[in-house]
Structure 1
Amino acid sequence: MATVTLKGNPINTSGSLPKVGDKAPDFTLTATDLSSKSLKDFAGSRVVLNIFPSVDTGTCAQSVRQFNTEASELENTKVLCISRDLPFAQDRFCGAEGLNNVVNLSDFKTGKFGENYGVNFVDGPLEGLLSRSVVVINENGEVLYTEQVAETVDEPNYKAALEVLY
């Protein structure tokens, strides 16, 4: 279990992020076209998991925008934006913003992604949503970098996350 804060108030997650050097846990999530996607679908690519509570909040929306911009400059890299939002909301947001360099995936069906990556909030006002985190995975499925943002309303450290890919 990890403890982060929401506007200074402590909230807990269901576990801990995978460790650098570990094999990234596989997952099955729902894409905006309602198809199922797994980590295996991105095999051979470097993958950035941008994990957040809801695209309908300012900080989460900004992380999708920022990673969309950054992703267009990286070779062989896919940015997966993962939340418990419905795929329809994810698709609406990216369509309205003109964002097409990220892949939106939803953990709304089972919540197993949040369990396997240790990012489900287990208490507090965001209980049931995902903790703001970044996991970077190499072409072989190994974790290169992780960050669980200590204060939920803060943005992740984009530079540190993407530095491991240069």
Structure 2
Amino acid sequence: MSNEREAAVTLKGNPITLVGPELKVGDKAPDFVCDQGLAPTISLSDMVGKVKIFNVLLSISTPVCQAQTRKFNEELSTIGGDLEAYIVSSDLPMSHKTWCGAEGIELIKGIADYKDNVFGSTYGVLMKDHKLLCRAVFVIDKENIIRHVEYVSEISQEPDYDKALSVIKGLV
């Protein structure tokens, strides 16, 4: 695969190769189109005029990913404004909907990157050998410029919520 980043992150201390570019603050957020199975496709170009947070997870079925989603849902619910929040993982679309529904998570929508790994390879979060996404957070402004990015260096750890939330508060 092209644009591989060896040992870009670790999972329980083991080096993981990521596929795709390492995006940086100030970069134009790349567009993507993710097939959502029976639901309509979803793309960055569908999210016009709003601040976006992409909360990237390995799987919504893991405890750390669930904690990350709960924390962002709780914190973002107090911010308001023109904000759209998403969890992005390689799970099936129904997994997001089922888990979020059972947990009362209404603010965050799911993006299922299970079919073609388009989001993962475009945002540089696709784990080459696992075909799952690494833990990351992207905050994108209304003009689709990346204002915060964190590729969590140890995937089993949670992201730095305070940094992401501080950037979001400054944008909405």
TM-score over 0.5 for the pair: yes
Partner of 1:141: 144
Q: Give the length in aligned residue pairs.
A: 163
Deviation at residue 17 of structure 1 after TM alignment = 3.1
Partner of 2:69: 64
Question: So what's the TM-score if we normalise by structure 1?
Answer: 0.93
Partner of 1:39: 44
Partner of 1:21: 26
Q: What percentage of aligned pairs have identical amino acids?
A: 39
Question: So what's the TM-score if we normalise by structure 2?
Answer: 0.89
Partner of 2:114: 108
Separation of aligned partners in 2, 1:143 and 1:76 = 16
Partner of 1:83: 89
Counterpart of 1:161 in 2: which secondary structure?
helix
Shift in alpha-carbon separation, 1:109–1:27, aligned structure 2, 3 A: same
Note if 1:154 corresponds to 2:157: yes
- 4+ residue runs over 6 A deviation: none
Unaligned 5+ segments in structure 2 are none
| Equivalent AA in structure 2 for residue 163 of structure 1 | S
Shift in alpha-carbon separation, 1:32–1:96, aligned structure 2, 3 A: farther
Note if 1:51 corresponds to 2:28: no
| Equivalent AA in structure 2 for residue 55 of structure 1 | I
For residues 82-131 of structure 1, give each alpha carbon's deviation from its aligned partner in whole angstroms, at most 9, with x where no partner exists: 000001111110011011010111011211111111111013xxx10001
Unaligned 5+ segments in structure 1 are none
Counterpart of 1:163 in 2: which secondary structure?
helix
Deviation at residue 29 of structure 1 after TM alignment = 2.2
Separation of aligned partners in 2, 1:12 and 1:145 = 22
| Equivalent AA in structure 2 for residue 83 of structure 1 | S
Q: Please, what is the CA RMSD of the aligned residues?
A: 1.5
Deviation at residue 32 of structure 1 after TM alignment = 8.4
More strand by share: 2
